[in-house]
Amino acid sequence: MSSAKSDFTQGNILGKMIRFMMPILGALILQAAYGAVDLLVVGRFGTTAGLSAVSTGSQVLNLVTFVVTQFAMGITVLIARYIGEKDTKQIGSLIGGATVVFAIISAVLFVVMITLAHPISVLMQAPEEAVEKTAVYVRICGGGIFFIVAYNVLAAIFRGLGDSQSPLIFVAIACVVNIVGDLTLVAGFHMDAAGAAIATVFAQSVSVVFALIMLVRKQLPFTITKKDFRINVNCKRAMKVGLTLALQECLTQGSFLALCAFINRLGLMASSGYGVACKIVSFAMLIPSALMQSMASFVSQNVGAGNEKRAKKAMFTGIGIGLAIGCIVFVFVLFKGDLLTAIFTKDTAVVQRGYEYLKGFAPETILTAILFSMIGYFNGHDRTVWVMMQGLMQTLLVRLPLAYYMSIQPDASLTMIGLAAPIATIFGVILNVVYYQIHYGRRKNATA
């Protein structure tokens, strides 16, 4: 590991942030490609019911994946903090303890997703024609949940070490495996949604194997011993940071599940169209997500080194990067959304329903540049309780009530339902700006 590249406490902020962020963005793009390829291949070679099943089932999988990713953020933040403090001997026990905790989490998820796959599909109000296929998709993904969790934990470790390139490599390999698997099982053997799920799980298992090999071969600034594999002080500290983030993400993703259920009630075409739109949305949100993840590591190192001024500059730099790119994405999604949805299906009705949702959602591509950069800044400060609170307020007070209200109108419009997301984000930005001003004022007064 090059100490110069992974040291965020000195050098040009913009240059270092872009260099660190780009591999994270690449890895996120390839991760999003998992679900996109599943939907693309099933949309082209499977059935409409299979398309709806993958759409609904992937929402459940996204809930699990994103919650685990946020929980693992505690590992990233704490590793970066120890590196900033030059106290790397603590990292071994942190990783060992985290391994035990996430193994337990995987076991619980395995049982829940295997045994409750059908009730979950019904709860999601999957269209009647797609309920069984959705249950099969969820059950297969549940069978491979150990690999899905392990991948996200390993990626968190690499990012904490200031290495965003290695996760890009092993997820790229997995993406290729997933594409081959989808084409073989769905297009070749006509296994529909089940084939897409099997390909996804197998691809994740391959990525875990490569990640472990790369971690073992890496020159690490710490050692891990057998006694580290227990729930210890460092592990508890990371879990404390990650737990609030995971709870907030759970509610956020839960709101998307609820939104999916609201739209599923509008019929098979609306369900399939929303599923296609969600894949476009997942790609549009990648840059803000990459900014948030890199910001947490960047800020945490500088806070550990006592350089608060540089941490603040990093946040505003991230906002600038996000806004510049977000405006371009906004124009493309708003005016060319039908071309994007047409990539995933030949059904013109599904294409139009997906585009309807994207028209309402489009402003989110700009607004999240501000929101996610600020969240990354607060995560780097261990202000995860606030991150959870603002997420709760956005979801419970704005996003869910507004989306539900729009969905029960006599002529329910997917465009109006899509507007719930950017309106909630505007509310979130206001909350975070107020909190930042209070936080900054306290520090300013303390130093006066």
What are the pLDDT digits (tens) for 222-248? 888 888 999 988 888 888 878 877 887
pLDDT at 447 exceeding the cut of 50: no
- For residue 351, the Cα-to-chain-centroid distance in whole angstroms is 25
Number of domains observed in the structure of the chain? 1
Look-up: residue for tokens 């006694």? 227
Smallest CA-to-CA distance from 404 within 196, 311, 265, 199 is with 265
Residue 320 lies in a domain: yes
Residue 4 lies in a domain: no
Per DSSP, 33 falls in state H
Coil vs helix vs strand at 205:
helix
How high does pLDDT run on average in the chain? Answer: 86
Residue 56 lies in a domain: yes
Residue 34 lies in a domain: yes
pLDDT at 116: 95
pLDDT at 445 exceeding the cut of 50: no
Residue 231 lies in a domain: yes
Buried/exposed 429-445: b ≥16 CB within 10 Å, e otherwise: bebbeebbeebeeeeee
Residue 236 lies in a domain: yes
Look-up: residue for tokens 């290729």? 176
Measured CA to CA in angstroms, residue 294 lies from 159, 234, 375, 432 at distances of: 8, 22, 11, 19
At residue 320 the predicted structure's pLDDT band, cuts being 50, 70 and 90, is very high
pLDDT at 35 exceeding the cut of 80: no
At residue 3 the predicted structure's pLDDT band, cuts being 50, 70 and 90, is low
pLDDT at 34: 66
> Residue type at 289?
S
In this prediction, residues 116-145 reach a mean pLDDT of 91
* Mean pLDDT lowest among 76-85, 110-119, 146-155, 244-253: 244-253
C-alpha 184/C-alpha 202 separation (Å) is: 13
Residue 373 lies in a domain: yes
C-alpha 442/C-alpha 288 separation (Å) is: 28
Residue 3 lies in a domain: no
Where in the sequence is the domain holding 195, given as residue range(s)?
10-447
